[in-house]
Amino acid sequence: MDKLLEVREFDSIIGNIEYKDDNNFKYLDKKIFDSLLTFIYEFAGDEENADALEFMRIGYKRNVGDVVSIKNYVGLIQMKNGFQVQILPKIDFGGEEDKGNTQTKKVFLKMLRSMKNFPSKVFNDASLKVDKMNLYEIFINMYIQEVRQLVKHGIKSDYVQQEGNLNYYKGKLVISQHVRINLAHKERFYVTYDEFHSNRAENRLVKATLEKLQKLTTSAENSKEIRQLLTSFELLDSSTNYEKDFSQVVINRNTKDYEMLMKWSKVFLMNKSFTTFSGSTTSRSLLFPMETVYESYVAQQMKRVFCPTGWDVSTQDRGHYLFVEPKKQFFLRPDIVIRRGGRTIILDTKWKSLINNERKNYGISQGDMYQMYAYSKKYETPEIWLLYPVNEEMRNHAPISFYSGDDTYVRLHFVDVANIENSLKELKDKIEGVAYERKI
């Protein structure tokens, strides 16, 4: 894990050494570049989801050769040879230089922490040297902090079923085993019994995860903390049958401290990811769909900005269907619905960089506009907002809006994810300052 290429969304990666110093490309040694091509081809999604070629597209450029372009997914890829490609989101900082992508990583981690499945409760990025760690090391550190919190609260014990050939009778006799083993040993009993101790599935999985991360980490800080934590698990077994142990995990009021740990143990132990991609076990990916990350982050921050002034903020609203006969079909699910008084407003997030070209509709998808129109009619509201991330080209652009002619208004707002609170306050001021006139 000592070799890393750091790229951003929409960067192009090549393996042609003649263009090594070309600022339009990110260069990889030809052998490693070929491994990346193999990685892309071997990863496939299911019938409902796009495969890896949807986010890492292989094209061909004259004189340059094969070109890999990346979009929509960010995170870390580790190939069979151990080489890693770290993909960061493309975030605009208003012309300010982001040396070493330090600010990008900090903003990206804030965005990730808005997701339900992300271990954000105890993570403190102030204590982390983000500029010196790649994403995988940062995720390892997050897991370590979750385990530290568990140890602080106390590793949970439970009645765990045991079986063995004992010199005394205890629990329940396993007749078949007893007869087979103890035919010549009348003094023994093959029994099953419950014993209260901490050698339960959750703890075995945590120990196995720590042991695996100890081998993977290249961070001296992470390695030291893992060694310290393993002393708390030294009397416990390490999981050897992951699937069996995961099947025994039950999250309830007493095991709440394990909920996030078990999700991340599955990521680390079974090479799971936040995507539908699956490939060879010798390759590893930890990838996040930026559309989902962006939507989650905006929704979380909108609740903080809008709710204190009386707005009700609903995410992934499922109250309407596109068709209702012969049965309800094709449900509509706008990203965010806000309501106050008798006013309803639909807001949809789109992780896409628009362009300053009115003739090309600024790069807005026609399908997205059809979708917004459907929202307007089904929710019986004229107020629709599309929320795009700000970029250098559109940062100071004049307001953009569209009117359908039959009481549907679609307005655009550019969200500054690096300064999201102020950006959403500006959106709230716009919404509260708009007076819609019915034109029909």
pLDDT in tens, 247-300: 988 888 888 888 888 888 888 887 665 554 444 444 567 788 899 999 999 999
Q: E-assigned strands of 124-219?
A: 158-166, 172-173, 189-197
Q: What is the pTM of this model?
A: 0.80
200-213 per-position pLDDT tens digit: 888 999 999 999 99
* 52 has pLDDT over 90: no
Q: 284 CB contacts (<8 Å, ≥6 apart)?
A: 77, 78, 271
Stretch 166-190: mean pLDDT, rounded? 82
**Do the Cβ atoms of 89 and 109 come closer than 8 Å?**
no
Q: For 168-185, what is the mean pLDDT?
A: 82
The predicted model gives 31-56 an average pLDDT of 68
Q: Residue 46: pLDDT above 50?
A: no
Q: Residue 196 CB: number of other CB atoms within 10 A?
A: 8
The CATH classification number of 291-433 equals 3.40.1350.10
Q: At 47, is the pLDDT very low, low, confident or very high (cuts 50, 70, 90)?
A: very low
pLDDT value of position 112: 87
* pLDDT of amino acid 352: 93
Instruction: Give CA–CA dist 114/349, Å, rounded.
Output: 15
* Residue 439 pLDDT: 44
pLDDT at 282: 47
Residue type for position 415: V
Least confident range from 46-55, 187-196, 418-427: namely 46-55
Rounded to the nearest integer, the mean pLDDT of the chain is: 84
pLDDT at position 122, please? 53
Query: pLDDT above 70 covers what percent of the chain?
Result: 88
- For range 220-224, the mean pLDDT: 91
Average pLDDT over residues 368-393: 94
Q: How far apart are alpha carbons 154 and 172 in whole angstroms?
A: 31
d(CA 414, CA 427) in angstroms, rounded, equals: 9
pLDDT band for position 436 (cuts 50, 70, 90): low
> Is the model's pLDDT at 79 over the cut of 80?
no
Please tell me the predicted confidence (pLDDT) of residue 163: 79
Q: Delimit the domains of the chain by residue range.
A: 1-88, 158-197, 291-433
Instruction: Report pLDDT for 435.
Output: 60
